[in-house]
Structure 1
Amino acid sequence: MEFTVDTDARLTTVDVTAQVEAAVPDGCESGLATAFVTHTTAALVVQENEPRLRDDVETFLGDLVPDEGHAHDELDGNADSHLRAALFGPDVTVPIRNGDLALGTWQSVFLLECDGPRTRTVSVTVTDANG
């Protein structure tokens, strides 16, 4: 299953938990859901959905990776986006228990946009433990 996410800023987070959960087919009681963003300047992360923490993640990435001064910038000016996305990676895997994502109390799945605004595609593959 695939879904798209429209982002509205160069560096932002978007909660995609509901879309990932919707990919779990009826009747799948246990297994794994793997979400994969098909872009090199976006990432997926499991984190708490608290607005100040989401702002902190964006500030952290902005402080850690400067916006400019990278060799790749000569090509298309977005090396910072590639480097930021590489820190988190393109995928997350979440267990499925009793037909639902087995996330912890404060956990959500986020798309981390590093080169927006853009439309991103996320692919979700579900492996049913019972075949």
Structure 2
Amino acid sequence: MTERLSVDTGERLTTVDVTDRVAAAVPDGANGVCTAFVRHTTAALVVQENESGLRGDIEGFLADLVPDEGHAHDRIDDNADSHLRATVLGPDVSVPVTDGDLELGTWQSILLVECDGPRSREVAVAVTD
């Protein structure tokens, strides 16, 4: 079973906590592994602490790591930086599931990292045993 979630973002480089929405897509009583996968090449998913300062640090880190300009792909649609930033992080996370609950640690959340917003993003959520 796969459920698709729509996530709207408001800025070019930002993070959105999708933990509750992913958890709601897990069937009651399920056991196994939940995989969340963002269906875009300029966004990513990470498991990290949902704290505003840290979220800003993630955004700043990515901006510092990859310059906004000067990439070959920019001649096509001027967003190579977004592709490169998403490449560093990756499109998916996997979290164990026990009795329908995500086995996240106390400070862990699932964050969508938007690298080319604002946009409407789609996250596919599947649970396998």
Shift of 1:27: 2.4
TM-score scaled to structure 2, two decimals? 0.96
Shift of 1:2: 0.4
Match runs of 1:3-18 below 5 Å: 3-18=5-20
Match of 2:96 in 1: 95
Residues 47-81 of structure 1 deviation map (CA, whole Å, 9 limit, x = unaligned): 00110000000000000000000000000000000
Q: Which runs of 5+ in 1 are unaligned?
A: none
Match of 1:21 in 2: 23
Aligned mates of 1:97, 1:14 — CA distance in 2? 25
1:8 aligned counterpart, secondary structure: coil
Aligned mates of 1:125, 1:98 — CA distance in 2? 15
Amino acid paired to 1:58? E
Q: Which moved more, 1:109-118 or 1:97-106?
A: 97-106
Q: CA RMSD in A?
A: 0.7
Aligned mates of 1:5, 1:99 — CA distance in 2? 22
Name the % identity: 69
Q: Which runs of 5+ in 2 are unaligned?
A: none
Aligned mates of 1:46, 1:75 — CA distance in 2? 31
- Which aligned segments of 4 or more residues in structure 1 are displaced greater than 6 angstroms? none
Match of 2:85 in 1: 84
Match of 2:120 in 1: 119
Amino acid paired to 1:24? V
Residues 26-51 of structure 1 deviation map (CA, whole Å, 9 limit, x = unaligned): 221x2110000000000000000110
Match of 2:71 in 1: 70
1:111 aligned counterpart, secondary structure: strand
Amino acid paired to 1:19? R
Aligned mates of 2:9, 2:116 — CA distance in 1? 9
Aligned mates of 2:95, 2:68 — CA distance in 1? 32
Amino acid paired to 1:14? V
TM-score scaled to structure 1, two decimals? 0.95
Contact 2:18 2:111 in 1 (8 A): yes
